[in-house]
Amino acid sequence: MSPYLTEWINLFLRWFHVFAAIMWVGSTYYFTWLDGRLTEEESMSKVGEPPQVWMVHSGGFYVVEKKKSAAILPERLHWFKWEAAFTWISGFLLLSLVYHHSSLLVDPDVRELSKGAAIGISIGILVVGWIVYDVLAQTPLVKSSIGFATVSFLLLAGVAYFLLHTLSSRAAYLHVGAMMGTIMTANVWMRILPAQKRTISAVKDGREPDMALAMRAKLRSKHNTFMAVPVVFTMISNHYPVATFGDRYNWEILCGLILLGWAVAKIIRRA
């Protein structure tokens, strides 16, 4: 493939990936903010009155009301799912183009690896990362926010250490973010959407929806909001080699910035 064509493909994929991510993360944080405001309104509203949030934007007023269940479903129900799928697909294609089809994945000064072995680690960390997270998120540990966050951070730190001592440092930073991005996408398509579909099926069949499913889906969505900030950082880290992956303390810096990202996400969620 000619370098000219490769650069145009890279440009298109990167442009598409960034735009899809803006739509996905934007809608995620919007609904997080909206849910927080509705919870506040619910605590102040009278018994029997559904909480509402009034907003003004682009010359119009908008009123949003939250329903925990629906006796009758509307003809048109809006879903938010393709933003996540398009972000991950374009991101994986970009990962493959930039790293799998170049020499950027391997650094002989870090570890001697064949290209095939490096690609196997690249793909394997995405798959294993999701499996480990998904199993952990179904254990009683998830009931403790601090406990779950502590174990998750230690596992992430272990992944960061392993990758920074296996792949090139630039690729290692990117793959920590790609792993979290994969977890976020799998949360949407394998846990959140199925729960929503089962809730809708229950309503259509005249059955009471299982609220435990809704709460588990909400928890996965919460996890996504915390992963989003560090993911965005790792996506742009290749522009700052001196301060990040090129530093002698690159592993510690990455771990620190993940914690900083979580702290920022917590502030945003409360805003």
Residue 129 has pLDDT above 80, yes or no: yes
Q: How much of the chain, in percent, has pLDDT values that exceed 70? A: 96
Q: List Cα–Cα distances, 264 to 81, 149, 225, 244, in angstroms.
A: 25, 14, 10, 19
Distance CA 243, CA 271 (A): 30
Report which secondary-structure segment, H or E, holds 23: helix 3-44
| Total count of domains within the chain | 1
Task: Identify whether the C-beta of residue 169 lies closer than 8 Å to the C-beta of residue 256.
Answer: no
Provide the pLDDT for residue 136.
96
Contacts 24+ apart (CB under 8 A), 71-74: 71/203, 73/200, 73/203, 73/204
Q: Whole-structure pTM over 0.95, yes or no?
A: no
Whether the predicted pLDDT of 108 surpasses 70: yes
Domain that holds residue 254: 3-270
Q: Mean pLDDT over residues 136-152, rounded?
A: 95
Q: How far is CA 244 from CA 10, 167, 235, 256, in A?
A: 23, 15, 12, 11
Q: Are strands 60-65 and 52-57 parallel, antiparallel or unpaired?
A: antiparallel
How many Cα atoms are found within 13 Å in the side-chain-facing hemisphere of 235?
21
**Helix/strand/coil for 81:** coil
Q: Which residue has the higher pLDDT, 131 or 4?
A: 131
Which two three-digit tokens encode residue 72? 């009758």
Exposure string (b/e) for 40-70, b if CB count within 10 Å is 16 or more?
ebeeeeeeeeebebeeeeeeeeeeeeeeeee
What pLDDT band is residue 70 in, cutting at 50, 70 and 90? low
| Residue 68 reports pLDDT greater than 70 | no
pLDDT at 209: 76
Q: How confident is the model at residue 211 (pLDDT cuts 50, 70, 90)?
A: confident
Confidence of residue 4 (pLDDT cuts 50, 70, 90): confident
Is it the case that residue 116 has pLDDT exceeding 90? yes
Q: Could you give the C-alpha distances from 93 to 43, 90, 100, 101, 123, in angstroms and in order?
A: 46, 5, 10, 11, 12
